[in-house]
Amino acid sequence: MRNLRSWSWAFALLALASPAFAQDEAVLWAAGDIAGCNWTGDEATAALLERLGAPDAGWVAALGDLAYPAGTSRQFARCYDPSWGRFRERTLAVAGNHEYYTRKAAGFFGYFGAEAAHPPIGFAAHRIGSWSVYALDSRCLLDQSCLPGGELYARLEAALREDPARCSLVLVHNPRFSSGVHGSNARMQPLWALFQRYGVELVLSGHDHHYERFAPLDAEGRSDPERGTVQFVAGTGGAGLRKLRQRASGSLFADDAHHGVLELTLAEGRYTWRFVSTEDEVLDAGAASCRD
């Protein structure tokens, strides 16, 4: 590992400039669905990350579908590396479905190496400040390794059971809940139940090309302020944005008009968030405490 719950929501907008992080805080910037050689959205979000301070502090979470259209080694070198590649040494990456258009996601794993949620299990654990961060390869939804009885499910359950951290989050490309084109994914339900059982605070996903924040929900999508897990969808890293469909139950905020990054400030027992657009607008922001 790297050295990297009663709810109390505070929805005051934060200042545009990146905050001065206290010594007990760590920052994580996140987005997925990022780079293509035929568009400039990834260059705009990379420039935003630089303005927010990513080259000098904190970590970057790359939430899958990182080099379009097929995640080949050439596409990572020519499309992803010139923009988000500058943060490579500070990146926690998970593979998305486009990475697997190349056999065994060889381009993705060749680029990121052992720091990614590496095969054959598709699981990695990190420490960011006082938080535990778990990266999952959502290919496991197809090979069923992240369903009860599967190897990834067992590995994650053991890690969560033994984790002494009060606060934890999961990085996985496919969202459980979404108001986007792909919509909510019922195959994620067993994993979500596992997250809830062991008190995972946050799940960060991409896949749908918009930004969305959900209330604390149980595995079936019901409101659960005391024990539910919060999900952010941030498929806003550079790929073409897609219009929202009917809003999913529990969706508190959504935006389908801006590329940008989700900024999380992780502290002991609490966190704050901001979704910042490439036009330097804070479109969504707030704070919450981890469950006891």
**H runs (alpha helix) in 17-116:** 41-52, 73-75, 106-112
- pLDDT tens-digit readout, 183-232: 999 999 999 999 999 999 999 999 999 999 999 999 999 999 989 999 99
Nearest to 170 by CA among 24, 2, 18, 30: 30
**pLDDT at 23 (0 to 100):** 53
- pLDDT tens-digit readout, 124-143: 899 999 999 999 988 888 88
**pLDDT at 146 (0 to 100):** 79
Nearest to 183 by CA among 233, 239, 237: 233
Of 141 and 243, the structure prediction assigns the larger pLDDT to 243
Lookup: tokens for 71 = 């995640």
pLDDT over 70 at 7, yes or no = no
- Work out the number of other CB atoms within 10 angstroms of the CB of residue 18: 19
Whole-prediction pTM? 0.90
pLDDT over 60 at 9, yes or no = no
Whole-angstrom distance, CA of residue 62 vs CA of residue 172: 10
DSSP notation for 133-180: EEEE-TTHHHHTTTSTTSHHHHHHHHHHHH---S-EEEEESS-SS-SS
- pLDDT tens-digit readout, 70-126: 999 999 999 999 999 999 999 999 999 999 999 999 999 999 987 787 766 788 899
